[in-house]
Amino acid sequence: MEETLDSPLFSRHAKGVQPTDAGQQLYPLANRLLGDAQAIQRLFNHKQKKLPFRLGLIRSLGAERVSQLLKDLGNSVEGLELTLVQPEEDCDARIITSAYLQSDEVFQPLWRDRYLLALPVGSPLSLKPEITLSDLNQLPFIHRSPCEAVSTLTRALAPQAIHLQVRARIQTVEYALALVGAGVGAALIPEISQLQLRDNIVFRDISDIDLSRMVGLAYNKQAQHNAATRSIIAICKQQWSDNVMSHSIEVD
């Protein structure tokens, strides 16, 4: 393709490849062509065998990256009939955090997310370049449950007699961000780029505690795996490998 287009699509180096500007420009166009080709094939392939697949998803994964993951899965498995369910329901595989892994499951890492403190614009803490646990005493706070980071923070604050002023108890990240933006209080939010595109919220790291989660694919180690399960395992392995490579390049 590079010869045909007379343009380099990737920058190649010892640690892998990265798309050039031309590669970035080609990507959505190629996606569209592939989508059209698949639509044409499905239009005329009436006898295609259907493959049901139930995937459990926890909340707050980031719509953009989950959308791409599901698209890659759909492109790799002919006849896939994907149903998204709660991770507690009966399913073929589920995307969860490592804290919810069951003893009969294998865990394939996918993303590692740090948690940041989301603060309303105008909060005194938003003026500080670095925030520590001691800064949180009597901080108006949006408590989200279930959330591993909130549980970790609560356990860390207790021995130091640091108390948060809980102003709301909710479940979803989206609701938490709305309340932070309205000035109700601060909240812990996973560091996902599309969640941070708000001009009424400031995000800060808490420097003296590790607040993070490992998100991955969990699947039964004893179950007979169909084509969809095998494909999503391979996709998640490649995604994790790409993430590790990208982080390594950024560090260097």
**CA dist., res. 64 & res. 66, Å (int):** 6
Distance CA 54, CA 50 (A): 13
In a domain, 245, yes or no: no
- How many Å apart are CA 219 and CA 45, to the nearest integer? 31
The answer to whether residue 102 is domain-embedded is: no
The reply to whether 162 falls in a domain is yes
Cα–Cα–Cα angle for 187, 189, 191, rounded to 5 degrees: 150
How far apart, in whole angstroms, are the C-alpha atoms of residue 244 and residue 7?
28
Helices and strands in the chain, H and E counts? 6, 11
- Whether residue 123 lies inside any domain: the answer is yes
Structural domain of residue 130, as residue ranges? 114-212
Whether 107 is in a domain gets the answer no
- d(C-alpha 22, C-alpha 9), whole Å: 6
Q: 154 in a domain, yes or no?
A: yes
183 in any annotated domain: yes
Residue 185 is part of a domain; what is its CATH number? Answer: 3.40.190.10
Residue appearing with tokens 């993951």: 69
**Which tens digits make up the pLDDT trace of 23-56?**
888 888 888 887 777 767 766 765 667 888 999 9
Give percent of the chain above pLDDT 90: 44
Please, is 201 exposed, middle or buried when counting C-beta atoms within 10 Å of its C-beta (0-12, 13-18, 19+)?
Answer: buried
Which pTM value belongs to this model? 0.69
pLDDT of residue 251: 46
Domain total of the chain = 1
Structure tokens at 159: 């021995």
Task: Give how far the C-alpha of residue 32 lies from the chain's centroid of Cα atoms, to the nearest Å.
Answer: 24
- Between residues 244 and 5, the one the model is more confident about: 5
Is residue 195, in this structure, part of any structural domain at all? yes
